[in-house]
Amino acid sequence: MQFPGAHILSVSQFERSDVERIFQVADAMRPYAHRERMTKVLDGAILGNMFFEPSTRTRVSFGCAFNLLGGEVRETTDIKASSLTKGESLYDTGRVMSGYSDIIVMRHPQAGSVAEFSRASRVPVLNAGDGPNEHPSQALLDLYTIKIELKSRQQHIDGMHLAMVGDLKHGRTVHSLSQLVSLYSNIRFTMISPKELRMPEEITEDLRRRGHEVVETEDMETGLTGNDIVYLTRIQEERFQSKLEADLYRGRFRLNQAIYTRYCQPNTVIMHPLPRDSREDANELDNDLNQHPNLAIFRQTDNGVLVRMALFALTLDVCEQVDRHSREVNWYTERRF
């Protein structure tokens, strides 16, 4: 695809070469995110960080990524304050707001809303989540993390064994990630979930059609065996008939130190899109793994900044100029990356 000026709305826009281009630019962003240097390549540019649904983390991550490139951020954090509640169309909102910035990041609770908004916008729009539909930067940061973790083990995405655990029916994250991974070859997917929360058939069929292996199981133990990556998702109590049923599920689909040691390979990477529930009786990913070197969950959020910087640099077409506008950092930065 042509990145300059493009809207980034869906993972289905990308070819494998596009994904690899994004990852290449993300790599080049590392010294800036890690504060080895700073850059002002977007000095004077304005991001419209339009969140019509709350999401502190994604909002701050995008805003921070733009600041790290030297740009300014204008924000909205609430749909209630917006004219959309007065019956304004997404077309009008998109046309108006696009007069206030050089690029827009948008989250909105309604599927398709960001695409509709983008049709009226005169500047590039990045989808930061449109309800149950898409959240492409999350899938990209997940796959980018997989790539880096495997690389440090001299492995590659091609041919990897990936297990996904939890509510695979409703999880926007695992749907988009599956779709992205499917651009690579020879993947073995293991889908671990209760029967009622299985991965939608159109997704598993599509994966098989593209030549990947898909194993579906309700059994955590056999499912965990022999994977390079285990990707867990949040237990959503509201999806179940009763709390009792949800608790049963939690007992069966939980990862902690003991289970990891017993069933996973010693170098299996542990991932989760976060937030995870930290309450003793509800956590799908136990805190006793917090110091484990294979726990990649915080590397995921750190990598999110790199991937978002890359999306900005590509759509605003400044990749080649980032280093030229760079300088030394002169404040305290002994971060423990």
Catalytic residues: 57-58, 86, 107, 135
Q: Which of residues 75-94 bind its own copies (CB under 8 A)?
A: 76-78, 80-83, 86-89, 91-92
Distances (CA, A) of 320 to 41, 123, 168, 302: 10, 21, 39, 23
HEC string of 191-239 equals EECCHHHCCCHHHHHHHHHCCCEEEEECCHHHHHCCCCEEEECCCCHHH
Shortest gap between Cβ of 158 and its own copies (angstroms)? Answer: 29
| CA separation for the pair 237, 245 (Å, rounded) | 9
Shortest gap between Cβ of 260 and its own copies (angstroms)? Answer: 18
CB 136 within 8 A of CB 127: yes
| Residue 274 makes contact with its own copies by CB under 8 A | yes
Token pair 């599927």: residue: 111
| Residue 252 makes contact with its own copies by CB under 8 A | no
Pairing of strands 38-39, 326-327: antiparallel
Binding-site member from 40, 119, 208, 262 for its own copies (CB under 8 A)? 40
| CA separation for the pair 144, 154 (Å, rounded) | 15
| Residue 102 makes contact with its own copies by CB under 8 A | yes
Which residues, at least 6 apart from 245, have a Cβ–Cβ distance to it below 8 Å? Answer: none
Shortest gap between Cβ of 40 and its own copies (angstroms)? Answer: 7
Residues 295-324 as x/- pattern, contact with its own copies by CB under 8 A: ---x--xx--x---------xxxx--x---
CB 135 within 8 A of CB 12: no
| Residue 330 makes contact with its own copies by CB under 8 A | yes
Closer CB to its own copies, 148 or 329, in the complex: 329
| CA separation for the pair 313, 302 (Å, rounded) | 17
Residues 112-131 as x/- pattern, contact with its own copies by CB under 8 A: ----------xxx-------
Q: Quick one: which segment of 18-26, 151-159, 212-220, 282-290 binds its own copies (CB under 8 A)?
A: 282-290
| CA separation for the pair 191, 232 (Å, rounded) | 10
- Amino acid making up residue 142: D
Binding-site member from 20, 21, 27, 46 for its own copies (CB under 8 A)? 46
Site size toward its own copies (CB under 8 A) is 80
| Encoded tokens for 175 | 């749907």
105: three-class secondary structure by DSSP: strand
Shortest gap between Cβ of 101 and its own copies (angstroms)? Answer: 6
Q: Which of residues 173-192 bind its own copies (CB under 8 A)?
A: none
Closer CB to its own copies, 159 or 251, in the complex: 251
Q: Quick one: which segment of 70-78, 182-190, 218-226, 258-266 binds its own copies (CB under 8 A)?
A: 70-78
Shortest gap between Cβ of 81 and its own copies (angstroms)? Answer: 3
Sign, CA dihedral 134-181-170-284, equals: negative
Closer CB to its own copies, 152 or 278, in the complex: 278
| Encoded tokens for 330 | 């002169």
Token pair 């909205």: residue: 76
| Residue 99 makes contact with its own copies by CB under 8 A | yes
| Encoded tokens for 26 | 């993300």
| Residue 278 makes contact with its own copies by CB under 8 A | yes
Binding-site member from 17, 36, 100, 109 for its own copies (CB under 8 A)? 100
Shortest gap between Cβ of 78 and its own copies (angstroms)? Answer: 7
